[in-house]
Amino acid sequence: MKLKRIGASLLTCLLFVMLVSTDVYASSSTGAQNYVTGNDSYRMPIPQCYNVVETINNIGAFEDEERYFKNPQDIFVDSYDNVYIVDTGYNRIVKMNSDMETVNIFYGDEESGSFNAPEGIFVEDDGDMYLADTGNKRILHLSPEGKFVEQFTNPDSELTSGAAFNPSKLVVSPTGYMYVVRGENIMAIDGSGGFSGLYGQTDIGYNLTEMILRVVASEQQKKSIVKRTASSYINVTMGSDGMIYATSMEREEGEIKKLNSIGTNVYRKYKTVGNSISNPITEFIEKKLLKSVVASNSFKFGEYFDDEGMYMEPIFRDIAVDDDGIVTVIEELNGKVYQYDQEGNMLVAFGGKGESAGTFTMPSAIDVDSKGNIYILDRINANVQIFEPTEFILLVHQAATRYGEGDYTASYDLWQKVLDIDENYDLAHVGIAKTYYKQGEFKLSMDESKLVSDRDVYTQAFDEYVYVVLRQNFVLVLVIALAIIVGVLLLVSYLIKTSKKAYWSFLNEKTKKMGVVQGLKYAFHMVLHPIDAMEGIRYNKSRINMKVPFLILIIAYIVRIAYIYIVHFPLASMEVADANLVFEAVKLWIVPISWIPASFAATSISGGETKFPEITFTSALSLTPYIIINLPLMFLSNIWSKSQQSWYGVFSVLAYIGMFLILYFAMMILNNYTMKKTIGMMFVSAFMMLVIWLVLGLFYVLSGRLIQFIFTLFTEFKLNFL
């Protein structure tokens, strides 16, 4: 029982390591360097975007008040650039003017009673303050002078009465509704304190670890698995466009949301999966299936590793949106500030944890004033740092805004100016590529977007370009296409014929061993007639040529390597530079090779007839469909782009289905199993295979440990005796 549980947890650990370790990338750049990251979490240095111009460490000369802040949790800059700091530790609100001189301090008046650990504030244009008086479980509406106006407690509703009311972060819309963060929802309260609905329920998502656990766990254990709830919201702010911008613990595009009036997230929605979504089936293919085949289909806000390269899940503690719709968030664990445009493209990441100006210990809140200065509150350092935008980032903002407004010529010029400063700024190249696209310069657009590996823009331009080429050279293209089709058909019919011949000669010439070329043809035949081919092997076990499986493995590997170089870049699963020869071999061979001992072990204990040679032979030959499909596919992909990726995905998946079928028929026929038993044995073998991986993984981890242990022992020995 216990062993099973340990096994399960080890398995999930291992899978986890395998899943996350590939895209963790550590950068050597220090905290001072500004950068942007693309989808592949690669940090691209860019010029300095913000400078610290002022640090406010205390309230300055203001009567006889406690000078410093204590655990401040929120900052708000109103439309007149007055700054409100919620000084949670001292239960007060410090109001400063735009010169950061303290003009007032509020503790609550007689009517309201004193505040108790307030955590959030929203100030209307007329100066009315809405304070989340968290410790007192209420929201206070205060006049600009800090006088009590009204208070809101838990609104009456079936949906809310069960839960405690701990208001922390809130906004008030121009229409008078109050939106308060409440777990996985944002709760709306109307002007009279009535409950007006829960908005923007976060996605529950699915969890691989949990799925595996559910398969492995016993009935009893299943009960003890904690039911997962949806991710919580963290903070909200109000955009000048009237939209609610929020941060949450939801992952993959859900970290930052832009909610419309009915609570739907419209920020970057499906931006990353192309434009071809039309029905639930293709949507499923694109969102779930293609993630494993085509890279960059999953988008995450922020970064999922810290400066040391260790995996972490970001917590966007606060969010600010300026008048141009530039979204800035502050991440708590790594202390980074991330800025995005309205399309969700990262403009800059800066900050970090540290001791120097412009770095943080525990940032707790962020806001932006009318000049674009960013105010960041740190609750451990108990200070506010004011960041002023540099020329460079102002240019970027203008360019992004102009483009969003549809003024392509203006944005083109601005992007050019950005490139004058930073020749490698991704978004500028994308912006220019988009402008070219709008101007009908498709080839230029393709070149420009390819420079920075932007698949979406490239795809748009490519599709138009293909259309243009087709229209201009219709006859020529038609002739070439016909020629290729005829050629391929001839080749295929020849292959079918010759492989059939090879099959029959293998069966009939009982004394001759299988030749190498004959074996390869036999492999081809096996794809078309798996049952016949398996029967052939079953009755002629002794005559199969063991060079063939190795040859197939090597050919498949060569195809894979060639594929990485040749496949059209919008459809590529990785960049050539990121590819690793060993890793590719492991990925390709791990299933067919580990299948050999796994299925041998499984079948030999349940009346199987197979021996190692024929299992090796058939397992390796299961890669034949992979070769047959990918060889033409890599060339064909060059006239396809991301808009055909579901077709592309289907073909890729076919290769794996073919592999599965061959393994299935091999097991069924070679062992003389029934169909049902084969399925059962397939499961057993698959489980054995997982066990083998686990053991190998454990061995890898433990041998590393052992080496480390010996080294430590050696060091200790040296320290103690030398």
Partner 1 sequence: MVKNFIKERIGSIILLVIVLVMVAWGWISIRNAKNNAVTSAEAYEEPEGNVDFEAAGSYESVAKNDVVELFYNEAKGAIQIKDLRNGYLWKGIVDDEIYDMESVNKRWTAYLTSSISVSYSNLEKRDTVYSPMYSARDANILETEYLEDGVSVTYGFGSIGIYVTVEYTIDDEGLVVRVPMDKVREDTVYLLNTIEVLPFLGASGDEVDGYMVYPDGSGAVTLFSNVNERPSGVKASMYRIYSDKNMDYFSLYNEDNRERYTASLPVIGMKRDDKAFLGVITEGAESAGMGVYPSGSSNIRLNHIGFELYTRNLFNVGVSSVSGEGGIVTNTATVQRVDKNLIMQDREIHYFFLEEDLASYSGMARRYRDYLLETEQIHDVIPEGAQMPLALEILMGITKDGMVFDEYVTMTDFDDVVSILKKLKAKGVNATETVLTDWIKGGQNTMPDYWPPARQLGGTSGMKDLNEYAQVNPDDHIYLQNQFTIGTTDGGGFSEVDDVAYDGLEITVSMEDFDGVEYYMLNPQTSFDRNARFLEKMEKYDSLGVGYDYLGYITYPDYNKQHPFTRTEMVNKLKEMLRSTKDAAHTVAVSGENQYAYEEANYLYRTREGSYGLSISDYSIPFVQMVLSGLVPYSTENAGNLTYDLQTQKMKWIEYGALPYFHLTQEPALNFRESDFDDIFSSTYDEWEDRVVEVYQDMYQNLQEVYGQPLIDHEVLEDNLVRVEYENGTVIYINYNGSERTAEGTTVPANSYVVVKGGE
Q: Which is nearer to partner 1, 5 or 529 (CB)?
A: 5
Q: How far is the CB of 29 from partner 1 (least distance, A)?
A: 7
204 binding partner 1? (CB under 8 A): no
Looking at residue 265, what DSSP letter applies? B
Distance CA 257, CA 337 (A): 16
Q: Does 392 help bind partner 1 (rule: CB under 8 A)?
A: yes
Told to check if 46 binds partner 1 by CB under 8 A, we report yes
390 binds partner 1 (CB under 8 A): yes
Distance CA 392, CA 46 (A): 10
- Our finding on whether 674 is near partner 1 (CB under 8 A) is no
50 vs 617 by CB, closer to partner 1: 50
Residue 336 contacts residue 353 (beta carbons within 8 Å): no
* 416 part of the interface to partner 1, by CB under 8 A: no
Cβ atoms 36, 347 nearer than 8 A: yes
Per CB under 8 A, 354 contacts partner 1: yes
Nearer of residues 10 and 249 to partner 1, judged by Cβ = 10
Kindly state whether residue 6 participates in binding partner 1, applying the rule CB under 8 A. Answer: yes
Between 477 and 694, CB nearer to partner 1: 694
Among 23, 39, 41, 55, binds partner 1 (CB under 8 A): 55
The one-letter amino acid at 230: A
Tell which one of 45, 242, 440, 607 touches partner 1 (CB under 8 A). 45
The reply to whether 29 sits near partner 1 by the rule CB under 8 A is: yes
CA–CA gap between residue 163 and residue 159 (Å, rounded): 8
Tell whether residue 1 is a contact of partner 1 (CB under 8 A).
no
Taking CB under 8 A as the binding criterion, the range among 114-122, 278-286, 497-505, 698-706 that sits at the site for partner 1 is 698-706
| Secondary-structure percent of the chain, ordered helix, strand, coil, rounded to 5 | 45, 20, 35
Question: 549 with 619: CB under 8 angstroms?
Answer: yes
- How many residues bind partner 1 (CB under 8 A)? The answer is 65
- Unique residue bearing structure tokens 């709760």: 187
Q: 114 burial class (0-12, 13-18, 19+ CB within 10 angstroms)?
A: middle
The 423-462 contact track toward partner 1, x by CB under 8 A, reads xxx-------------------------xx----------
The CB density around residue 348, as the number of other CB atoms within 10 Å, is: 25
Q: Is 493 in the site for partner 1 (CB under 8 A)?
A: no
Residue pair 82/36 in contact (Cβ under 8 Å)? The answer is no
Query: Is 703 an interacting residue with respect to partner 1 (CB under 8 A)?
Result: no
Minimum Å gap between C-beta 642 and partner 1 is: 21
Q: Does 32 bind partner 1 (CB under 8 A)?
A: yes
- Residue 23 in contact with partner 1, rule: CB under 8 A: no
- Give yes or no for residue 706 binding partner 1 (CB under 8 A): no
Residue 544 structure tokens: 């199969």
* Residue 422 near partner 1 by CB under 8 A: yes
**517, two tokens:** 């070329």
CB-facing half-sphere around the CA of 21: CA atoms within 13 A: 7
* Encoded tokens for 80: 């007149």
Distance in Å from the first CA to the final CA of the chain:
48
Binding to partner 1 by CB under 8 A, coded x per residue (else -) over 541-580, reads: --------------------x--x----------xxx-xx
Cβ of residue 619: shortest distance to partner 1, in angstroms? 26
List of residues 6+ apart from 409 with CB closer than 8 A = 435
Among 102, 342, 381, 460, binds partner 1 (CB under 8 A): 381
| Smallest separation (angstroms) from partner 1 to the CB of 25 | 9
The CA–CA distances, whole Å, from 259 to 139, 187, 193, 276, 617 equal 22, 13, 22, 23, 57
Q: Is 48 in the site for partner 1 (CB under 8 A)?
A: yes
Q: Which is nearer to partner 1, 415 or 665 (CB)?
A: 415
**Which lies closer to partner 1 via its Cβ, residue 220 or residue 720?**
720
C-beta of 395: minimal distance to partner 1 in Å? 10
Contact of 82 with 97, CB cutoff 8 Å: yes
Q: Is 701 in the site for partner 1 (CB under 8 A)?
A: yes
Contact status: 720 vs partner 1 (CB under 8 A): yes
Q: Convert 571-619 into a string of H (helix), E (strand) and C (coil).
A: HCCCCHHHCCHHHHHHHHHHHHHHHHHHHHHHHHCCCCCCCHHHHHHHH
Q: Are 388 and 373 in contact (CB under 8 A)?
A: yes
Report yes or no: 46 and 425 within 8 Å, Cβ to Cβ. Answer: yes
* Interaction between residue 383 and partner 1 (CB under 8 A): yes
Handedness of CA 215, 219, 225, 230 (dihedral sign): positive
**Taking CB under 8 A as the rule, does residue 605 contact partner 1?**
no
Cα torsion angle, 534, 540, 543, 546, sign: positive
Q: Does 370 bind partner 1 (CB under 8 A)?
A: no
Segment 303-342, which members bind partner 1 (CB under 8 A)? Answer: 309
Q: Residues in the site for partner 1, rule: CB under 8 A? A: 6, 9-10, 13, 26, 29-33, 42, 44-49, 52, 55, 57-58, 67-68, 309, 354-358, 381-383, 390-393, 420-425, 451-452, 561, 564, 575-577, 579-581, 701-702, 705, 708-709, 712, 715-716, 718-722
